[in-house]
Amino acid sequence: MDRFKSTKIAGILGIFGNLFLLIIKGLIGFISGSQAMIADALNSASDIFASLMTFIGNKIASEPNDNTHNFGHRKS
Ligand SMILES: [Zn+2]
């Protein structure tokens, strides 16, 4: 497995894992009225965003070279 493929899997797992945590923590937070649980649900929401950026950045970096990017897109 190359590093782009493993990073892609890490990004996808991060998105869906944190989505699961967001829903569970959000539901329990609202049912119990726990502000700490709701705050932690929001933290999971920001983790989804971070995982999404990992996924998108990796997708851009994994593009092969072309005329304007002779050495590939992972280098400037
Ligand atoms: Zn290009």
Give the pTM.
Answer: 0.80
Q: What is the chain's Cα-based Rg?
A: 17
Could you state, in chain order, the average pLDDT of each consecutive group of 10 residues for the chain (76 residues)? 92 97 97 97 97 94 89 75
71 Cα to the center of ligand 1, angstroms: 9
21 Cα to the center of ligand 1, angstroms: 37
pLDDT tens digits, 12-33: 999 999 999 999 999 999 999 9
- Is residue 21 within a helix (H) or strand (E), and if so which, with residue range? helix 3-32
56 Cα to the center of ligand 1, angstroms: 15
Residue 54 neighbours by CB under 8 Å, 6+ apart: 7, 10, 11, 14
